[in-house]
């Protein structure tokens, strides 16, 4: 007798490749394989048809779509010929300060006024300080009166930028041979024996403020003009002395037909010596209580110590001259 109440046989064990996760993964990654595997499972017919249609559309989309274009960042650069770079001169001034100094080092500011050099250094990316380049230690209270002779990177930086230390001198001074040396003032050349014109040409490059002609004889007046051909007998400063900027050179002259005196403050036509008949009046007048007026420096006088005034009102006193004779000289 058949037992109608017997249990149905247990379902067959599912293979691992029939697992839904495996089949779905294949339908996405490899649609043909996924479709074939789906029809071997125990899925319902409707599920198999839906999965087949979706996987087929997905596969068709992959096949007919264009491959992804290469992105610009991943594209290989094309090698193109480049023209040689031409050197472009740097502008003389930049409108704004540089945030960093030039990698090749600071430009040279030697010879520039301190105001201009400081501004140009800042535009090139450097702060600046200054010091007296001579043996002195003068402060630079007004930068416009100084110019740069030396420059070097300062040992201590001022602010966030590297700092240049300028060694400077006053505008009218020559630069020393090296930083800290004395100012090499030019030496006064010897111009005696030259004409006034030649002497002027020789002294002008020294930077003298003025060249003043005077008469070599106390009783000879220079003409208002036309002394270029006159001869220089004496000079001040003397030959070999330093000539500082702004100095005045005094040149004592005599006309071409007259020889130079042996010493300064000499008359070309002196009064007669004491004891001569024509000199007694002058001496007796000078020895009076009030002194005389109208005397000339270098003129013979008596007695020694007497006082008088010159024709232009300057005080005079009777001194013993280098020749051992009493002559009028300046009396303070």
Give, rounded to a whole angstrom, the gap between the first and last alpha carbons of the chain.
174
- Residues sharing a CB contact under 8 Å with residue 326, sequence separation 6 or more, in sequence order: 274, 300, 301, 302, 303, 304, 318, 319, 320
Q: Tell me the three state secondary structure of residue 230.
A: coil
Output the CA–CA distances (angstroms, integers) from residue 105 to 88, 111, 139, 264, in the order listed. Answer: 18, 18, 27, 60
User: Above 90 in pLDDT, residue 47?
Assistant: no
Mean pLDDT of 139-165: 90
**pLDDT confidence tier of residue 117, bands split at 50, 70 and 90:** very high
Give percent of the chain above pLDDT 70. Answer: 73
Say yes or no to pLDDT of 288 above 50.
Answer: no
- The predicted-structure confidence for 54-97, as pLDDT tens digits, reads as follows 877 777 777 777 665 555 444 455 555 554 444 444 544 444 55
Q: What are the extents of the domains in the chain?
A: 16-63, 96-183, 185-268, 277-330
pLDDT in tens, 165-214: 999 999 989 999 999 999 999 999 999 999 999 999 999 888 888 899 99
pLDDT at 114 over 80: yes
pLDDT recorded at residue 286: 45
Name the pLDDT band for 53 (thresholds 50, 70, 90): confident
More confident residue, 126 or 287: 126
The residue with greater pLDDT, 82 or 266, is: 266
pTM for the structure as a whole: 0.46
Query: Closest Cα to residue 249, out of 261, 239, 258, 259?
Result: 239
Residue 219 exposed, middle or buried by CB count within 10 Å (0-12, 13-18, 19+): middle
For 185-268, the fitting CATH number among 3.40.50.620, 3.40.50.300, 3.20.19.10, 3.30.10.20 is 3.30.10.20
pLDDT score for 92: 45
Bridge partners, residue 127, by sequence = 163
Give dist(CA 269, CA 215) in Å, integer.
14
**Pairing relation of β-strands 163-170 and 293-295?**
unpaired
Q: Are 164 and 121 in contact (CB under 8 A)?
A: yes
pLDDT digits over 4-45, tens only? 555 556 555 566 656 677 777 766 777 777 677 677 776 777
Q: What is the pLDDT of residue 38?
A: 72
Please give the mean pLDDT across all residues of the chain.
78
Tens digits of residue pLDDT in 272-283: 655 544 444 444
pLDDT of residue 279: 43
């Amino acid at each position: 007798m058949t037992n109608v109440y017997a249990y149905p046989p247990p379902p067959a064990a599912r293979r691992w490749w029939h697992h839904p996760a495996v089949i779905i993964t294949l339908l996405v990654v490899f649609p043909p394989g996924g479709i074939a595997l789906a029809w071997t499972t125990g899925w319902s017919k409707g599920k198999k048809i839906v999965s087949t249609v979706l996987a087929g559309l997905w596969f068709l989309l992959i096949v007919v779509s264009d491959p992804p274009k290469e992105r610009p960042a991943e594209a290989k650069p094309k090698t193109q010929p480049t023209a040689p770079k031409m050197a472009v001169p740097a502008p003389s001034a930049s409108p704004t300060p540089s945030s960093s100094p030039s990698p090749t080092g600071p430009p040279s500011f030697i010879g520039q006024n301190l105001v201009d050099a400081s501004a140009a250094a800042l535009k090139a990316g450097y702060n600046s300080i200054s010091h007296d380049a001579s043996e002195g230690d003068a402060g630079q209270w007004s930068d416009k009166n100084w110019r740069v002779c030396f420059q070097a990177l300062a040992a201590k930086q001022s602010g966030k930028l590297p700092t240049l230390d300028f060694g400077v001198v006053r505008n009218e001074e020559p630069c020393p041979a090296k930083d800290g040396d004395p100012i090499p003032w030019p030496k006064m050349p010897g111009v005696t024996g030259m004409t006034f014109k030649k002497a002027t040409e020789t002294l002008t490059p020294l930077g003298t403020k003025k060249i003043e002609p005077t008469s070599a004889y106390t009783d000879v007046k220079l003409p208002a003009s036309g002394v270029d051909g006159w001869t220089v007998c004496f000079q001040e400063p003397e030959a070999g002395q330093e000539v500082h900027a702004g100095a005045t050179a005094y040149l004592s002259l005599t006309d071409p037909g007259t020889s130079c005196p042996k010493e300064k403050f000499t008359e070309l036509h002196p009064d007669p010596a004491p004891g001569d008949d024509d000199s007694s009046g002058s001496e007796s007048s000078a020895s009076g209580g009030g002194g005389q007026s109208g005397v000339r420096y270098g003129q013979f006088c008596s007695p020694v110590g007497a006082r008088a005034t010159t024709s232009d009102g300057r005080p005079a006193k009777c001194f013993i001259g280098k020749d051992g004779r009493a002559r009028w000289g300046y009396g303070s």
